[in-house]
Amino acid sequence: MATVLVVEDDEFVRSAIIRDLTGRSHAVRSAGRALDALREIAHVAPDVVVLDLGLPDLDGAEALKMLRAISDVPVIVATARDDEAEIVRLLRDGADDYLVKPFSGDHLNARLEAVLRRARPGAPSSVARVGGLVVDADRREARLDGAPLDLTRREFDLLAYLAARPDRVISRRELLSEVWRQSYGDDQTIDVHLSWLRRKLGESASRPRYLHTVRGVGVRLSPPAEG
């Protein structure tokens, strides 16, 4: 069972999707406007979002970009625009999959299951340890020398991604793709989050302990040097 947020302004279509997904044992929440959907995502953290593009308050493509700024939740775009260039652009902007209207309940459910399988890959352990830093991806908890770290959702996602790959230099492009789920964007966004993360780790770019910038390449998370 998954928690599914259905974002669809057509009440008849929305009700039909909710009825079908509920009958398949999913927990379903819904919104008829983009801004309502963004509030739901921020407060409820659904497992997957089904996003219609024809929303009354905001173009669906713009809603997708705003959604990606606050969450990495899997998104299936539902569109009446059967246009290859448009679909490619949406996938590059952060959609995980798409459906062209009209679609059947079986088709939607199959796409949901496929997206959820990709979003929940098997892993031997969800806990990463780097020096005195412990990051539990399942519990979404991080501790430094035993003390809990107060991190935002994006800061935690960034730290967890780096902690799972200790001593490896990660490019900003990879961070943008894997943490922000965007194919392109501004490096400054990443640098700002790294700066906030450094502050919470008790370090700075000029005096790093865990986060080391490799100029022109990316960033590396490594345990502090002894002594």
Distance from C-alpha of 99 to C-alpha of 20, rounded to nearest angstrom: 16
Mean pLDDT by groups of 10 residues along the chain of 227 residues: 90 94 92 92 87 88 86 87 80 85 90 80 68 90 93 91 91 86 73 93 92 88 79
- What is the pLDDT, as a whole number, of residue 185? 64
Q: Which of 10, 7, 13, 61 is nearest to 34 (CA)?
A: 7
Domain boundaries, the chain: 3-119, 127-221
For 125, 128, 195, the CA distances from 210, given in Å and listed in that order, are 21, 14, 12
pLDDT tens sequence across 108-148: 988 898 888 777 654 445 789 999 999 998 888 999 999 99
Distance from C-alpha of 108 to C-alpha of 170, rounded to nearest angstrom: 35
- What is the pLDDT, as a whole number, of residue 125? 54
- What is the pLDDT, as a whole number, of residue 123? 44
- By the 10 Å C-beta count (0-12 exposed, 13-18 middle, 19+ buried), 69 is classed as middle
Q: What is the CATH number of domain 3-119?
A: 3.40.50.2300
Is pTM, for the whole model, over 0.85? no
- What is the pLDDT, as a whole number, of residue 15? 95
Q: Are 53 and 9 in contact (CB under 8 A)?
A: no
- What is the pLDDT, as a whole number, of residue 114? 82
Q: Which of 116, 210, 195, 188 is nearest to 152 (CA)?
A: 195
- What is the pLDDT, as a whole number, of residue 147? 93
What is 127-221's CATH number, 3.30.429.10, 3.40.50.970, 1.10.10.10, 3.40.190.10?
1.10.10.10
